[in-house]
Structure 1
Amino acid sequence: MSRRPSDYDESDVRIRPSRRGSRPRSKDRPGHEDAVPARVVGVDRGRYTTLLDEGEPGERTVVAMKARELGRKGIVVGDLVGLVGDLRGGPDSLARVVRVHPRTSVLRRTADDSDPVERIIVANADQLVIVTALANPEPRPRMIDRCLVAAYDAGMDPLLLLTKADLVDPGPFLQRYAPLEVPTLATAASPDGDLDPKGIAELTDALRGRTSVLVGHSGVGKSTVVNLLVPDAGRATGQVNDVTGRGRHTSTSAVALRLPGRDGWVIDTPGVRSFGLAHVDPTSIVDHFPDLAPGTGQCPRGCTHDEPECALDDWVASGKAGPTGAERLVSLRLLLRSRAESD
């Protein structure tokens, strides 16, 4: 028997509870005026190791997580941030990163020249130390050229560090970069197998008072150098594969280490196999080849610098680009072609 509408009362009606509270959601976010400044020295799976009260008697390491209000904003080694929460430090404390301060510089790279996703390696560094071995593994000038472009694009000063100079004379290789006036240093192993103290002392002087990032292929000796610069760093070291001639990855994440005497920072990064420059404007790439850029003054309007009418060929032939100008021009054009193909 069906019921008439008049037979129903309020107890027969089921009301679905609302998932939203009665209080309207506010768009205001806390200002965190009490946030304490800190430096990010390590990143590991969503946890940020920071240094609090840097240089003060109460200096301590604090582990933090990113606050929800930061959204998808990335945090990298070298960032200066604001912390709230448990700031005691120690294994049982966890703070929150609520603010990322403006960066003075950002070192970026992409997986290759066609990758639209850029990866920020470090922030707030002012010197890029390009580490390459003279042998075992063999040096790759194209990689060095790419790192130089990335350094100039980020507004960082480059420094070329050659390792294993006891195996090969660095002089001929350095001639390639003489016209650029890029500072260079070389380290060699002593008879007892350790690195020559003189080379490490010169490198320490070059790093003093600066925030320097070390980049290079696996197996070139980055971690070995870092362990000598910072004796308690404990960075893992590896060997070069005898078959492929490539180094094995030993560092899995970037880490900032303070030099002895608290006079500068060195940031060790994982070894890389490629250094994409998809984030660099193709029209500005030639400007980052300072030995070749002056020769573009006679180029026709709209010159791509990779065509028969390009004036760079005459510039190189005249010797104004230095004895290795032809090799440098090949490197520039290979990079321009890679960007053109990706575009």
Structure 2
Amino acid sequence: MARYTDHDVEHYERPRKRTRPRTKDRPAHDDAVDGVVVTVDRGRYTLLIGDAVVTAMKARPLGRKGVVTGDRVRVVGDVSGVDGSLARIVEVTPRTTVLRRTADDDDPVERVLVSNASQLVVVTALADPEPRTGLIDRALVAAYDAGLSPLLCLTKSDLADPEVLLSTYRSLGVPWVVTQRGPDRTILGLEAVQERLAGEVSVLVGHSGVGKSTLVNALVPDAHRKIGHVNAVTGRGRHTSTSAVLLPLPDDWAGGGWIIDTPGIRSFGLAHVKPETLIEAFPDLDEMTEDCPRGCTHGEDEPECGLDVAITDGAADPDRVTSFRRLLAARSVTDY
């Protein structure tokens, strides 16, 4: 027998699911504390709050808003850092910079790698594995697009002369440091690297096997990052890092600073970078393109480009224009 008859009011007014009134009012979270995201692993976020290392989850009101390494966040809940405790991220504060990439050059989905960095350090080996300028160019493009200061870090200079590679990038004005392994497995040239990193939040990117983890372990002895090896057949390294990790530089450094170690990169899509954004990173060249035809990308094949006119008039350094156009072309180069 049915629970209600046609004459019962409840028959017509049965409660519906999810009819709980909703409100636009949100908790103020006046008790929230500030933290910084150290790393992200499968929906759990490791935060540094003062001297405590805290595990947290993302609050539901944040929705699909991503939280990445380097984010400064507001946190509520158990922030003691005790084993088994879990806090909740309720707000991501505005980011100062965002380093993005896409999986491929025709992928419309941008992926945020890290946030709030000030410097992008492109780590490349001079040999074993051989340097691949395609990735260097793409990383520089990403740095200029994100408003980060670029730095080239050339490792294994005991195996090859760095001048061959540096001559390619000198006209761009990109600063560089050179390191090599010493006889007692120390890194020679580490002091120059420390000077460049002091006071900065630096993102380290590079192919696997270029010595990035070795460099991180020398800079931050407590990091204990795994070190990979280069395949003798393919000439490529094996991934040893699986996620980006924010590491504070030692307290005895003048100026302090942070480094973000990222996994070895195999793809660095630049679908999100526009030519007009890239040229703005070179103010001296940008002002020479004011009279360019509408829609000019400033590439080599563009007719009546202001850069070509400037070269003819002697107002522009041909090597610098060539280097800029190589970066521009890197957006469509697939082998890197």
Instruction: Compute the TM-score of the two structures, normalised by the length of structure 1.
Output: 0.85
State the match for 2:205 in structure 1: 215
Separation (CA, whole Å) in 2 of partners of 1:167 and 1:205: 24
Cα displacement string for residues 234-268 of structure 1 (whole angstroms, at most 9, x for unaligned residues): 11110111111111111000000011117111000
Residue deviations 1:74-115, cap 9 Å, x none? 000111101111111121210000011011111111112111
**Matched residue, 1:271:** 264
Q: What residue is the counterpart of 1:68 in the other structure?
A: 60
Please identify the structure whose Cα radius of gyration is greater.
1
Matched, 1:44 2:41: yes
CA spacing shift, 1:80–1:285, aligned 2, 3 Å: same
Matched residue, 2:151:
159
Structure 1 counterpart of 2:91, from 92, 95, 99: 99
The letter of the residue matching 1:276 is: G
User: C-alpha distance in 2, partners of 1:38/1:130?
Assistant: 27
TM alignment of 1:1-343, pairs within 5 A: 17-20=14-17, 24-53=21-50, 59-196=51-188, 199-261=189-251, 263-288=256-281, 296=289, 299-304=292-297, 305-307=299-301, 309-311=303-305, 312=307, 320-321=316-317, 326=322, 328=323, 331-332=326-327, 334-335=329-330, 337=332
Q: Is the 8 A contact 2:271 2:331 kept in 1?
A: no
- Please say if residues 291 and 321 of structure 1, whose CA atoms lie closer than 8 Å, have aligned partners that are also in contact: no
Which amino acid is 2:128 matched to? N
Match of 1:214, SS state, is strand
Given that 1:131 and 1:162 are in contact with CA atoms closer than 8 Å, whether structure 2 keeps it comes out as: yes
Return closer, same or farther for 1:299/1:21 CA change in 2, 3 Å cut-off: closer
- With over 3 angstroms needed to count, the CA separation of the structure-2 counterparts of 1:87 and 1:335, relative to structure 1, is same
Gaps of 5+ in 1: 1-7, 54-58
Given that residues 149 and 288 in structure 1 are in contact (C-alpha distance below 8 angstroms), is that contact kept between their aligned partners in structure 2? no
- Distance in 2 (alpha carbons) for counterparts of 1:43 and 1:338: 31
User: What per-residue deviation string (whole Å, max 9, x for no partner) do you get for residues 103-137 of structure 1?
Assistant: 11111111121111111011111011111111111
Deviations 1:211-255 (A, max 9, x none): 110011111111110000000101111011111111111100000
Amino acid at match of 1:279: H
Could you tell me which amino acid in structure 1 is paired with residue 317 of structure 2? A
Are the structure 2 counterparts of residues 321 and 294 from structure 1 closer, same or farther at C-alpha, using a change threshold of 3 Å? farther
Work out whether residues 112 and 276 of structure 1, in 8 Å CA contact, stay in contact via their aligned partners in 2: yes
Indicate if the aligned counterparts of 1:129 and 1:213 stay in contact, CA closer than 8 A: yes
Contact 1:226 1:235 in 2 (8 A): yes
Render the CA deviation track for 1:127-186: whole Å, top value 9, x for unaligned: 111111111111122221211111111111111100111101111211111122211001
SS at match of 2:90: strand
* Mapped contact 1:43–1:254 kept (Cα < 8 A): yes
CA distance in 2, matches of 1:281, 1:333: 9
**Gap change, CA 1:296 and 1:172, over 3 Å in 2:** farther
Report the identity percentage: 56
Letter of the 2:212 counterpart:
K
> Aligned to 1:160, what secondary structure does the other structure show?
strand
Q: Cα 1:336–1:60, aligned 2, differ >3 Å: closer, same or farther?
A: closer
Aligned mates of 1:166, 1:313 — CA distance in 2 = 40
Does the Cα contact within 8 Å between 1:63 and 1:95 map onto a contact in 2? yes
